[in-house]
Amino acid sequence: MRSDPTEYQLVAPGTLQAVVSLLAAEPGAWLPIAGGTDVMVQYAAGRLPARKLVSIWNLPELRRVEVSPGEIHIGAGCTYTDLREHQIVRDEFPLLACAAGWTGGIANQNRGTLGGNIVNASPAADSLPALLAYDAELILVSARGQRRLAYRDFHTDYKKTKLAADELIQGICLPRQFAGYLAYTRKVGARNAQAISKVCVAGLGRAPGGVVEDVRIALGSVAPVPLRLAETERLLKGKRIDPPLLALAKKTAVAEIRPIDDIRSTAKYRAGVAGNLVEEFLVKLGAGERAT
Amino acid sequence: MTESVERGVPSKLSLMELSFTVNGERRTVRVYPMARLLDTLRQQLGLTGAKEGCGEGECGSCSVLMDGALVNSCLVPILQAKDANIVTIEGLAADGKLDNLQEAFLQCGGAQCGICTPGMILAASHLLHKKPEPTLEEIREGLSGNLCRCTGYTQIFEAVAEAARRRSIATP
């Protein structure tokens, strides 16, 4: 059932300040729309509950990448294309650049934004495990001011987040501390581009001489939210990667996830694949590999 | 209706006037702000080259260039195209002379039913603008958001490679 444009309000105030003022005036009444790659799909299907939309597409304040010595600040309105083409994202945050290249076709990469992907909060989104692995922090903005929140605390349940009704994501900060880390990422789906993942993993680690100094493992499509495997990471730290440790890590990883059966896959298949991907990452990490 | 009133939407939204550039010409339309760019192009401006396939950004048959970037026009609310520079397939052939991508599609048999062709050609145009000498892998990726159910893609990829060759000869 196609939606009727006469029933929807859309405004484009043009500045971040004006947008947050509008959100503050009627909290929860206005739905922000950036590149429309999620919102317009719901609209086309007649399933968009919001009737008042405010455009944040191409707001200059949200479309910048700022680089400082300690971190990179990615404006929430940066598109996947912006991310793929940014030299520092490519060089220092390959998990994110790679996921950006997996997300939809070129036209959707030109319009879909990182902030939109986070707020849409699909546990199957490909870029979100990368943000978890890099310990991203979000800058949330409202008329009340700004606050910073660890991204790993942002999703509270399936499609539920800590974003207040009058808030927007302004930017995503990634610490620049991953030189020398092995970056590993794989998406398992019907095909790489344009197919939503059955399982997707982002791994990051350092293991000089085969001993785990730091490790981060994040998975998509295996729980109601994108998930960091905290237990698995804890048991790996400081240990030498050998077959008994691999077996234990795999078992712990499978116990940590909560996959479901849905149209794309089954819980059983997802658990099997997730365990195998964790193992593949750790084998590479133990072997001293540096690149995916 | 009751629902929209409760949500605070004016019971009658009024049409707005908005301008943008289409194929080099400044155009003004009277639209509702959530009208899709695709519908505005086809219904108000008579530019029916962009096709509606899936209507949800999966098939690429409604592809156009917006400020130089390939977009699915079914996912663009018209208000976001205000003052933008839009190029549709109709804008590629200047003065009745086909663009060399169009020539190459003809020569290589890169079209059968033709529904996907405008989108394919605009995706290819966007790709060649960014990567004038693409590898086959880059061609496949550049067109991965455009679905064709007739050709099996091989002739389409050949056409893009052929156009790239012709362009490199024309502008050494």
Q: What is the pLDDT of residue A194?
A: 63
Under the banding of pLDDT at 50, 70 and 90, the label for residue A190 is confident
Overall domain count for chain B = 2
* Segment B77-130, tens digit of pLDDT: 999 999 999 999 999 997 889 999 999 999 999 999 999 999 999 999 999 999
**One domain for residues B18 and B86:** yes
- DSSP class of A68: -
The pLDDT mean for chain B works out to: 92
Same CATH topology for A7-179 and A182-286: the answer is no
Q: What is the pLDDT of residue A289?
A: 66
**One domain for residues B107 and B165:** yes
**One domain for residues B80 and B124:** no
Contacts of A59 in chain B (CB under 8 A): none
User: Is B1 within the bounds of a domain?
Assistant: no
* Segment A239-269, tens digit of pLDDT: 999 999 999 999 999 999 988 888 888 889 9
User: Is B4 within the bounds of a domain?
Assistant: no
Domain A182-286, CATH among 3.30.420.80, 3.40.50.300, 3.50.30.10, 3.30.390.50: 3.30.390.50
CB-based contact, B32 to chain A, within 8 Å: yes
* Segment A91-137, tens digit of pLDDT: 999 999 999 998 889 999 999 999 999 999 988 888 999 999 999 99
Q: How far is B166 from chain A (nearest CA, A)?
A: 24
**One domain for residues B112 and B82:** no
Does the pLDDT value for residue A199 go beyond 90?
Answer: no
- DSSP class of B14: P
User: Is B5 within the bounds of a domain?
Assistant: no
User: Is B72 within the bounds of a domain?
Assistant: yes
CB contact under 8 A, B75 and A45: no
Residue A157 buriedness (CB in 10 A; 0-12 / 13-18 / 19+): exposed
Residue B30 sits in a domain whose CATH number is 3.10.20.30
To the question of pTM greater than 0.90 for the whole model, the response is yes
Residue B150 sits in a domain whose CATH number is 1.10.150.120
User: Is B115 within the bounds of a domain?
Assistant: yes
Given B54, B72, B91, the domain boundary residue is B91
| Nearest alpha carbon to residue A120 among A207, A11, A239, A225 | A225
Give the integer Cα–Cα distance in Å for B40 and A200.
38
Given B91, B111, B140, the domain boundary residue is B91
Q: How much is the average pLDDT of B151-167? A: 95
* Segment A48-90, tens digit of pLDDT: 999 999 999 999 999 999 999 999 999 999 999 999 999 999 9
Given B70, B91, B112, the domain boundary residue is B91
Q: How much is the average pLDDT of B44-61? A: 96
Q: What is the pLDDT of residue A29?
A: 96
**One domain for residues B82 and B106:** no
Residue A239 buriedness (CB in 10 A; 0-12 / 13-18 / 19+): middle
Cβ atoms of A156 and A163 closer than 8 Å: no
**One domain for residues B77 and B123:** no
**One domain for residues B107 and B39:** no
Give the integer Cα–Cα distance in Å for A276 and A282.
10
Q: What is the CATH number of domain A7-179?
A: 3.30.465.10
Give the integer Cα–Cα distance in Å for B156 and A152.
44
Nearest chain A residue (CA) to B142? A106
User: Is B8 within the bounds of a domain?
Assistant: no
What is the strand order of the sheet B85-87 is part of? B25-31, B16-22, B85-87, B63-66, B69-72
**One domain for residues B36 and B57:** yes
CB contact under 8 A, A107 and B123: yes
CB contact under 8 A, A41 and B76: no
Which structural domain range is residue B24 located in? Answer: 14-91
Domain positions in chain A: 7-179, 182-286
Closest CB to A52: pick one of B8, B77, B144. Answer: B8
- DSSP class of A82: H
